[in-house]
Amino acid sequence: MAGKLIDGHGRAASYLRVSVTDRCNLLCRYCASKERTFIPHDDILRYEEITEVIEVARRIGIDKVRFTGGEPFVRKGFADYLEQIGARFPDLTLAVTTNATVIGKHIDRLAVSGLSRVNISLDTMDRDRYRHMTGRDLFDVVLENVRRCVDAGMTVKVNAVGVRGFNDDELPAFVEFARQNPVDVRFIEFMPIGTDTGWNESSVWTSKDIVREAGELADLAPAERGADAGPANMFAIRDGKGRIGVISPYTNHFCGTCNRLRLTSEGNLRTCLFSDKVFHLRKIIRHPTLDSGVLERVIRGALRSKPIGNDLLLARSRGGVCSTKMASIGG
């Protein structure tokens, strides 16, 4: 059973994104619906069950795990769990995607226990707009935690979903933020995921437009792509401490090089963000007689059918949107 996991399109899977909860303390309009129903607690994978999947994933070539949600830090014991995973798998690259509202008290110990990469979602540079957008008055807390993560030596990326008519007027503030802080500020194109998100074709602020408009505000130079560049196109800012970048899942998909698998909080494996096809791992993990060899066979089988998601994305954007929101899938 040993050997790297290669899918039906010749792509290797090396990156697992794990959603540890579907709960979030924010109510971002495009991400979580108002009438949210949550997965019952008993159906959420326990930490030791997530570890079982990570064990198997490592055997088949996964070398990077990103924890996400919902908001991972609202799940009880998450910081402790991260520490445990860091100690147990020192060769894994560990990362977290967070809204950075409740990470504060954990930053120092996580920095010394192997968490080197934090992606912080922040869609606006304006306090009032933040409150309006998320339903919580936590803008200053987030900025403070960005600074503290940087000071603790972590690689910090600030991710903003670029939405025409919502935050496109804030490009100067974002560019200024990247100029003054040693962080990558990255705009992600708004994707047609979930219902009642307000998505429509004209709400997509395209990467091309963002780069052009940012180029009018600052002297940008395309940054070299490092080994761990991911799908973002980054630009250095002359005389700036940080960089600005774009991720284009909508206008310039990167499905041909996609190395990702996703594990949802209820234990479903998704091989593609834009496909509703899931593989139910929880019932295997909780089965009294099935062992990790079965889990491995199912994951390998799932990967063999991993689609080229852009075809699905285009179909969706024409005929409606994907029914599952990012908060449930794990962003």
Tokens in use for 193? Answer: 């995921």
8 Å CB contact between 15 and 273: no
Indicate the residue whose CB is closest to ligand SAM.
331
CA atoms within a 13 Å half-sphere pointing along the CA-CB vector of 244? 27
The whole-angstrom separation of Cα 219 and Cα 234 is 13
Determine if 99 is a binding residue for ligand SAM (CB under 6 A): yes
User: How many distinct helices (H) and strands (E) make up the chain?
Assistant: 11, 12
In the set 188, 220, 232, 299, which binds ligand SAM (CB under 6 A)? 188
> What residues contact residue 108 under an 8 Å CB cut-off, 6+ apart?
152
Site for ligand SAM in 156-185 (CB under 6 A): 159, 161
DSSP 2: -
Tokens in use for 130? Answer: 């933040």
The least distance separating ligand SAM from the CB of residue 194, rounded to whole angstroms, comes to 6
Residue of 52, 302, 9, 322 whose CA lies nearest to 191: 322
Determine if 71 is a binding residue for ligand SAM (CB under 6 A): yes
The least distance separating ligand SAM from the CB of residue 232, rounded to whole angstroms, comes to 13
Smaller CB separation from ligand SAM, 31 or 56:
31
In the set 18, 69, 171, 233, which binds ligand SAM (CB under 6 A)? 69
Stretch near ligand SAM under the rule CB under 6 A, chosen from 78-86, 104-112, 187-195, 211-219: 187-195
User: Residues in contact with ligand SAM, total (CB under 6 A)?
Assistant: 20
Q: Give, in degrees to the nearest 5, the angle at Cα 18 between 157 and 8.
A: 100
Smaller CB separation from ligand SAM, 31 or 45:
31
The least distance separating ligand SAM from the CB of residue 96, rounded to whole angstroms, comes to 9
Three-state SS annotation for 275-292 = CCCCEECHHHHCCCCCCH
In the set 68, 124, 265, 268, which binds ligand SAM (CB under 6 A)? 68
Site for ligand SAM in 2-31 (CB under 6 A): 24, 30-31
Site for ligand SAM in 232-271 (CB under 6 A): none
Smaller CB separation from ligand SAM, 159 or 271:
159
Smaller CB separation from ligand SAM, 68 or 248:
68
SS3 label, residue 148: helix
Strands (E), 82-137: 93-98, 117-121
Determine if 118 is a binding residue for ligand SAM (CB under 6 A): no
The whole-angstrom separation of Cα 245 and Cα 163 is 15
DSSP 44: S
Smaller CB separation from ligand SAM, 15 or 30:
30
Site residues, ligand SAM (CB under 6 A): 24, 30-31, 68-69, 71, 97-99, 121, 159, 161, 188, 190-191, 193, 197, 326-327, 331
